[in-house]
Amino acid sequence: MGTYARGNASRRDSLHFAQPLHDADGGTVGVLAAAVDLGWLDGYLRRNLRLPSTSVTVADGDGTILVRYPDGAGWVGKPVPPERQRILLTRGEGVRVDFGIDGRERVLANARPVGTASAAWVTVGRDRDVAFADVDAASRRGLVLIALGAVLAVAAALLAGRAFIRRPFDRLLRTASRWQAGDLAARNGLEGSDEFGRLGRKLDAMAATLQRNETELREEIRNGRAMQERQVTMLHELNHRVKNTLATVQALARQSTRGGDAPGERLEARILALSKTHDLLTQDDWSGAPLRAVLENEIEPYRGSDVRFVIDGPDVDLPPRHVLSLGMTLHELVTNAAKYGALSVPGGEVRVAWSVAGGEGGDRRLRLDWIEANGPPAVPPERRGFGTRLITVSVERELDGQVTLDFAKAGLRVGVDVPLTGTGAVHLSPLATTH
């Protein structure tokens, strides 16, 4: 991870990352570089952090502010004030009540990310008055109620001095003591239409309100912690997916250096197909994508030509791992058909059909058939090429499924059978379309 930079050409604030790419011998064959537009990151925070009382500041290893919410326009690219830097260096990570860089008192949490961005600082702040508003209000109400009960009880005892007054007074004091100790579930239980009865009911109602507010506050805290845990899980999942994607790109690049027909074009096409599949996943926060959309994504470049696609199958939502692996498999089949099979001649036809077996509660499996017709006869290759290996690895190793290849004279037939355990809903009303 680099530090804050301003593009010479784009004139945009950005943050750069780089990753060396190594071959099998450990030598460096290239560098994968990426730049994050800080304007985009600022917009992302504004869409997702809609509480003006919450602030987020991200600084790089040099102490330069990368992102500032909600008043980021005047801070991006500027150094963190010296006194703030001294606090970060001396106190390090942790939570404290202090003044932010804008002079507002907040509950501040400082932390360093793990991994590549470990040199950066992330500071999240919550306005002190907002963060403690419910607690302060509950405390004030509790103190007021306790003081009111005590004053009324003492006044009644002094004025009346009778035994039946002393008993409810003691009950009020005991209940108030339990409230003061934090037991808001305690009730005085006073009834009747006299002053003590009405006061007891009011105090019990107040205590019930305080108890509900405390329960809601604890629930909000639990929800916040659960959201943080989900964010950590999503970051781990994204890290895993990025590593797998880089490994796939590295394998494609390594294969392209071994020769073959237009290796650069095949590499570019495969990486483009992988990128388009990632676009489908990012449209729904990496939760998955429909199988039909994955297939349409691959056959889109061949629409309008003198070939025909027949698509038949129910709507199936695939998880991210299936989307990536089946997307690469379908790309290899389409590319092979365009070069050697039914898509290479006018009038060629490709039929893609799939079905789902198994119930909602059991193990479900997806069966997909790729059938070419009206094209050149399929000829078994003399050697197993990279495309065949990529299909086999994508289906059998990544998805724990099975793939069959039939080089028939009428055209290539490919069968894919993979488990669908843990996928989204499957709508078993068949839909057939022809392109």
> Is the pLDDT assigned to residue 30 strictly greater than 90?
yes
The CATH architecture one would assign to domain 262-434 is 2-Layer Sandwich (3.30)
Q: Rounded mean pLDDT of 129-149?
A: 81
Give the per-residue pLDDT at 226: 85
Q: Which of 227-236, 302-311, 369-378 has the largest mean confidence? A: 369-378
User: What are phi and psi for residue 31, nearest 5 degrees?
Assistant: -135, 130
SS3 category, 9: coil
Q: Write the DSSP assignment of 239-251 as a string of letters.
A: HHHHHHHHHHHHH
Q: What is the largest CA-CA distance in the chain?
A: 111
pLDDT value at 61 more than 90? no
For tokens 């237009």, what's the residue?
262
pLDDT recorded at residue 31: 93
Q: How far is CA 147 from CA 129, 164, 241, in A?
A: 24, 21, 60
CA-CA distance, 191 to 146, in Å (whole number)? 19
What's the first-to-final CA gap in the chain, in angstroms?
46
d(CA 318, CA 290) in angstroms, rounded, equals 6
C-alpha–C-alpha distance, residues 220 and 130, integer Å? 14
Q: Token digits for 187? A: 């009730």
pLDDT value of position 433: 45
331-353 average pLDDT score: 87
Could you please state the CATH topology (level 3) that the domain comprising 4-131 is classified under.
Beta-Lactamase (3.30.450)
Could you tell me which residue, 138 or 22, shows the higher pLDDT? 22
Which pLDDT belongs to residue 424?
39
- pLDDT tens digits, residue range 9-28? 778 888 888 989 999 898 99
Asked whether the predicted pLDDT for residue 266 surpasses 80, the reply is: no
426-434 vs 94-99, strand pairing mode = unpaired
Q: Give the Cβ contact number of residue 253 at 10 Å.
A: 17
Count of other CB atoms within 10 angstroms of residue 38: 23
Higher-pLDDT residue of 201, 30: 30
Determine the pLDDT at residue 260: 46
Among 125, 126, 122, 131, smallest CA distance to 88 is for: 122
Q: Strand ranges (DSSP E) for 245-321?
A: 289-290, 307-318
Q: Where are the domains of the chain?
A: 4-131, 134-257, 262-434
**CA 385 to chain CA mean position, Å:** 37
